[in-house]
Structure 1
Amino acid sequence: MSDFDLADRPTVMLLAGCFCSLQQDVEREVKLSEDLNLMVTSNRMTMKSVANLVLAVNKLSKSLSLCGRDLSDVELCGAIMDCVVEGWSNSSGTRKPVFQRCSSVHKFTVSDEYQKDFILTTGEMKLQAITLRAGNGDRKVNFEMCHYRPPCSSSIRSLTVLLSVSENLHISCSMEDGKVSLELESLTEINQEDGLDRFLFIKNTPPGGSLVSFESVKFRGWFISTSSVEIDHSVEMCQAATASRVTCFKVF
């Protein structure tokens, strides 16, 4: 069921004018945002089709607001089609959640409030957080972050991100014995069918703040963290407010 009243949508008033002319072709332009219009052409429009169109426009406007304004023409077209055309699985007839990529790759480094920087230990292929001395700045991990838009049916209201250490090495999460572990997986391609949600994190920034946290999409309530203890270099997943763990970071 929709979470808004059709009567409250300004789009309804514009489309309602089409309803009075059922016997001829109708063309109307719907302004979705400052730089995006939707042209509607149809004949013998019914009130049901008007309602369906309004629902689609509402979903589209919410989705584009999450993606921001840095979409290319191809990405914008993909976002529109993903909202208007729903995917259904053949076996059960239930909707299959799809995370849609909606931005280019951004590179950045991470440090915590204790000035620990993220590095990659090449022998064990794991992340650590250490305080780098002068002249060792080249050891910092240059992460690659790509934004993904959550499905329209998802309760997530923030951008989700894929965090990569290199082109084919990505941060992921798994659970064993009730504890979530942070891992690095080497994959040349990540498919929706393989469980994309284990690679995705919710990037949260408190209002007016400059620090960010990364919460697992698959295991909600678990965050990427470092230790407040100087000699502890671990980078692990932890639950919110875990003693001696830091979950908010500076991103450069």
Structure 2
Amino acid sequence: MDDFDLSQALDNPLESDEKEVDSRCFDMTEVHSEIVKLDAGLDLVVSRNPYTMKGVATLLLAANRLKGPLTREGRELRDDELCQRIVDSVIETTIIETAENSSTGRGRIIFKRLRSWECNLTDDENKDIVCTTKDLKLESVTLKGGNGNHKVTFKLGTYFSPGVGQTVVLSIINHNLYISCTMNGNKAEMKLEKCSADQLKSITADGNMDRFLFYNKQRGMNGYMFESVMCSGWFISTSYEKENHPVEMCKVDTACRVFTFSIY
């Protein structure tokens, strides 16, 4: 990690206005005063290339986000996890596009997928998420012994939401089943819907495809809450006490419900 160059994690985000920029390795002695200490074993080196003001702002924001603790569950991050933390901290621009609606003449937001990875979810009561084979519904249960293979492996696809933070789409791995949320009367209802990945490469906020989107809100050090984009104020939750109880959408003030999950 000592020789990792931040520019390698970007698709030219700090692009210069000049047609050509000297990108060769620079003499470290010339920029010694411009080394920013982020954490033990991880430094940020700023070169003297004449970047644009936008590029400088991007770099400063990335450095600020990287100042968080480089640990996970009490252990130091591995090299691959450190690289991913760097990539996540500098993703910016061209994530959101606006297109003019021909009928109203107003702009509409288009969410574009960034990347995805496989993960499992465990709620704050250490219950895992399983999928029933009969009716294909998600339930929370405490798995013991050698039953860990019954837990659902999700594919978590990340998008971007302006002014709020990251949004995600959750699907069951090896199936084209995606978690969705829509209003049914005065209550938000969670379903597993079939949908193709191509349909979710970009999602418009003025359509009904945002039923698959959830705001991924961090709570505490390692906890995350998933709020429906379409149904504001409704969160994915599990039962506080009951085993094999359905995973449902609930308001955060609902009694006996758990709203915080660990992603691993």
TM-score (norm 2): 0.63
The aligned residue for residue 28 of structure 1 is none
Q: 1:37 aligns with which of 1, 14, 17?
A: 14
Secondary structure in structure 2 of the residue aligned to 1:37: coil
Give structure 1 stretches of 5+ with no counterpart: 1-32, 43-52
Cα offset for 1:181? Answer: 0.7
| Greater percentage in helix | 1
Change (3 A) 1:126 1:232: closer
- Check whether the contact 2:234–2:249 (CA below 8 A) recurs between aligned residues: yes
Give 1:162's aligned amino acid: V
Alpha-carbon distance, 1:37 to partner: 2.2
**What fraction of aligned residue pairs are identical, expressed as a percent?**
31
Q: For structure 1, which segment, 166-175 or 234-243, has the greater mean C-alpha deviation from structure 2 after superposition?
A: 166-175
RMSD: 3.2
Q: Which amino acid aligns with 2:87?
A: D
Whole-angstrom distance in 2 between the partners of 1:61 and 1:126: 42
Distance in 2, matches of 1:233 and 1:183, equals 15
> Post-superposition shift, 1:89?
1.4
CA contact (8 A) 2:101 2:107 kept: yes
Change (3 A) 1:196 1:68: farther
Determine which structure has more spread, i.e. the larger CA radius of gyration. 1
Q: How many residues align?
A: 193
Q: CA deviation at 1:222?
A: 0.6
What is the CA distance between 1:250 and its match in structure 2? Answer: 1.8
TM normalised by structure 1 equals 0.66
1:41 Cα deviation after fit:
6.4
* 1:121-160 equivalent positions in 2, closer than 5 A: 121-150=132-161, 154-156=162-164, 158-160=165-167
Aligned in 2, Cα 1:81/1:144: closer, same or farther, shift over 3 Å?
A: closer
Summarize the Cα distance change of 1:249–1:190 in structure 2 as closer, same or farther, 3 Å threshold: same
Q: Who is 1:163 aligned against?
A: 170
Q: Confirm whether residue 173 of structure 1 aligns to residue 181 of structure 2.
A: yes
Match of 2:260 in 1: 248
Contact 2:118–2:154 under 8 Å retained in 1: yes
Match of 1:190 in 2: 199
CA distance in 1, matches of 2:152, 2:125: 17
Q: Distance in 2 between matches of 1:120 and 1:230?
A: 16
The alpha-carbon deviation at position 69 of structure 1 amounts to 4.5
Change (3 A) 1:82 1:149: closer
The aligned residue for residue 69 of structure 2 is none
- For 2:143 and 2:126, the matched residues in 1 are separated by 8
Which residue in 2 is equivalent to 1:229?
A: 241
| 3-state SS in 2 of match to 1:135 | coil
Aligned 8 A contact 2:137 2:246 in 1: no
String of CA shifts for 1:145-199, please: whole Å, max 9, x gaps.
011012xxx442x110111113411100011111001100011242536533110
Match of 1:100?
112
